[in-house]
């Protein structure tokens, strides 16, 4: 049974994964973070790299053949690209001391 995976969702999620680095750099340079904020930033970077290794070896981690939309990446791998943003938002909301000028 095939699942319909529209191409525009693939494009949106791929762009979302690629703009993570500028968003992370903006957060690090714009806000002063306390220890809780730094922990969330470390969790964000760690989850981004862990997700990257999962995406590279996606065929090795699944019990069945992966459904690749484009370039060998499926919908699940691209949906997981949104999770590092959760930790960036938590770092800013819970660990912000102030803004840098």
Query: pLDDT digits over 22-62, tens only?
Result: 999 999 998 888 999 999 999 999 988 888 777 766 555 55
Query: pLDDT digits over 87-99, tens only?
Result: 888 888 888 776 6
| pTM of the full structure | 0.72
Tokens of 17: 């994964």
């Amino acid at each position: 049974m095939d699942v319909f995976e529209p191409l525009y969702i693939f494009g949106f999620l791929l762009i979302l994964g690629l703009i993570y680095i500028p968003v992370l750099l903006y957060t690090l340079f714009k806000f002063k973070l306390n220890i809780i904020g730094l922990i969330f930033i470390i969790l964000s970077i760690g989850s981004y790299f862990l997700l990257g290794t999962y995406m590279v070896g996606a065929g090795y981690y699944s019990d069945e053949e992966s459904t690749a939309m484009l370039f060998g990446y499926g919908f699940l791998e691209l949906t997981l690209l949104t999770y590092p943003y959760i930790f960036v938002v938590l770092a800013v909301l819970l660990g912000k001391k102030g803004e840098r000028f």
